[in-house]
Amino acid sequence: MKRRAFIQKSAATASVFSIVPSHVLGFSGVAPNDKIQLGFIGVGKQGRGLMTNFVNYDAAAVTAVSDVDVDKMSLFSEAFSKALAKKKKPSQKLSEMASYRELLSRKEIDAVVIASPDHWHAQMAVDAAKAGKDIYCEKPLSASVAEGRAMVDAARKYQRVFQTGSMQRSWDRFRHGVELIRNGYIGEIKEIKVAIGAPYKSCDLPTQAAPANIDWNAWIGPAPYRGYHEDLACPIGDKRWGMWRDYYPFGGGMVTDWGAHMFDIVQWALDQDHTGPVQFTPTSSPSESGLVYTYENGIKVTHTKWGENNNEIQFIGTEGRLEISRGYLKTYPDASLADKPIETPNAKRVYHSKNHHEDWLQAIRDRTRPICDVEIGHRTASVCNVANIAYALQRPLEWNPVREQFVDDPGANLMLDRPYRAPYNYRDF
């Protein structure tokens, strides 16, 4: 064959194969010209909110949905159709299935978005990794330290791109605050105060009759069984976020729910993304606040309400203060720092993500680690989960972040994992 004819034939062949779904070609990731096919697992309030973002991105297509509540699946599909129409995109029918494992078995699905209650995160994420899916999992990443480590290990074993939903890392305000701290604009950090709500409480809700639209046994999943209550799985029309967040073993209270946001920024600012504190010390007993976390470098972080609101952080340095929340960034004594770009030559910079979801999608194409990789999410969740253990025991704990164990404390170490019902086993990968 002449050279010109060979090149023309090769180009034509390449153009055909570039639009074939990636699984047909045996790609471990996504073919360059493919849309990333997304499945959503858990489609309550947070899942629907995430969907309205992902329909904006041309790099991805939402194709399937799974939830144990058939009414919420239907609501998700309706919201999806409205979102497509609003964006003037072609209408599309979603595949709906009650079993998330059926969704994972679909070869055409490249990646999953997990927005289930926290007690399901580890099992679903490990199963997704085994099925060869890339993963976006909501925060807090795990409900126990042992679960989080298994999620990291599974993602690494199966070479999955895994983004934790700690989206504040992709917000300009938080990135700027972190870079101010890392570049010494308020001096050496001595103390940090973090205002979030209370730790978890044991679930004492009375049992109610489960509605027909929800498979309650499947909602409980790996956790010890207890009866239905509408506070745990708020029905459609209830404007509250699911109150399962407050109750062990389904959530970790606000210490994990908002702590996964705010302690994540502390970890980032202190450049501690692959480690954590070494001591957790309650300051009074009994208490639901006042816990002091101490890092190896001596920096102390106190869980306490220090201002007028919750969900805000105060960094105290030798030369000033920096205070930050979703609504503001304030610096003292030089207020202009909050709005002034850092232009110092050789300034320390952190990973720059403009959009948390698109950062994940691009990482899937590049086969790289996104801004809040699974290890980072695990380390932040560990800070929160260990804090809950300290509150439950109401005594000081020494923590080894390398071994991820308490030092000379076998009783506390028993609390690093939690019981699972058969046949669930997040360690099986």
| pLDDT the model gives residue 21 | 44
CA distance between the termini of the chain: 49
- The H-or-E segment that residue 86 falls in is helix 70-86
| pLDDT the model gives residue 4 | 42
State yes or no: pLDDT of 132 exceeds 50: yes
Q: Per mean pLDDT, which range of 124-133, 185-194, 237-246 is the poorest? A: 237-246
State yes or no: pLDDT of 9 exceeds 70: no
Q: Amino acid identity of 95?
A: S
Distance of alpha carbon 106 from the chain centroid: 24
Phi, psi (degrees; rounded to nearest 5) at 178: -65, -40
* DSSP-assigned letters across all residues of 95-113: EEES-HHHHHT-TT--EEE
- For the beta sheet containing 60-66, the strands, ordered from the edge strand earlier in sequence to the opposite edge, are 95-97, 60-66, 36-41, 111-114, 134-137, 162-164
Pairing outcome for strands 321-325 and 95-97: unpaired
What is the CB-side half-sphere exposure of residue 424 using CA atoms within 13 A?
24
Mean of pLDDT over the chain:
93
State yes or no: pLDDT of 14 exceeds 60: no
What are the helix (H) ranges across 272-409? Answer: 356-366, 374-393
C-alpha torsion 62→64→68→72, nearest 10: 50
| Cβ contacts of 191 within 8 Å, gap of 6 or more | 299, 300, 301, 302, 316
State yes or no: pLDDT of 2 exceeds 70: no
Q: Per mean pLDDT, which range of 53-67, 249-263, 278-292, 409-423 is the poorest? A: 278-292
CA–CA distance, 140 with 143 (Å, rounded to integer)? 7
| pLDDT the model gives residue 182 | 98
- For 364-419, the pLDDT digits (tens) are 999 999 999 999 999 999 999 999 999 999 999 999 999 999 999 999 999 999 99
Task: Output DSSP code: residue 204.
Answer: -
> Which one, of 96, 58, 322, 80, lies nearest residue 187 by Cα?
322
Q: Can you read off the two tokens belonging to residue 417?
A: 């994992």
CA–CA distance, 144 with 92 (Å, rounded to integer)? 38
CA–CA distance, 80 with 97 (Å, rounded to integer)? 16
CA–CA distance, 177 with 44 (Å, rounded to integer)? 32
Q: Can you read off the two tokens belonging to residue 120?
A: 């399901």
> Which domains can be identified in the chain, with CATH numbers?
3-167 (3.40.50.720), 168-200+254-416 (3.30.360.10)
Q: Can you read off the two tokens belonging to residue 66?
A: 């799974």
Question: pLDDT-derived band of residue 30, with 50, 70 and 90 as boundaries?
Answer: low
| pLDDT the model gives residue 34 | 86
| pLDDT the model gives residue 31 | 58
Q: Per mean pLDDT, which range of 17-31, 38-52, 79-93, 283-297 is the poorest? A: 17-31
| pLDDT the model gives residue 284 | 83
Pairing outcome for strands 329-332 and 321-325: antiparallel
State yes or no: pLDDT of 32 exceeds 60: no
79 three-class SS: helix
Q: Tokens 């070869």 sit at which residue?
A: 107
| pLDDT the model gives residue 157 | 98
Question: pLDDT-derived band of residue 13, with 50, 70 and 90 as boundaries?
Answer: very low
Distance of alpha carbon 66 from the chain centroid: 19
Q: Amino acid identity of 317?
A: G
C-alpha torsion 153→156→158→162, nearest 10: 100
Q: Per mean pLDDT, which range of 4-18, 47-61, 306-320, 373-387 is the poorest? A: 4-18
Average pLDDT over residues 331-351: 95
CA–CA distance, 248 with 209 (Å, rounded to integer)? 21
State yes or no: pLDDT of 3 exceeds 60: no
- For 283-305, the pLDDT digits (tens) are 987 889 999 999 999 999 999 99
Q: Can you read off the two tokens belonging to residue 150?
A: 């298994």
Instruction: Judge whether 138 and 117 are in contact, CB under 8 Å.
Output: no
Q: Can you read off the two tokens belonging to residue 116?
A: 């289930």
| pLDDT the model gives residue 176 | 98
| pLDDT the model gives residue 261 | 98
| pLDDT the model gives residue 285 | 79
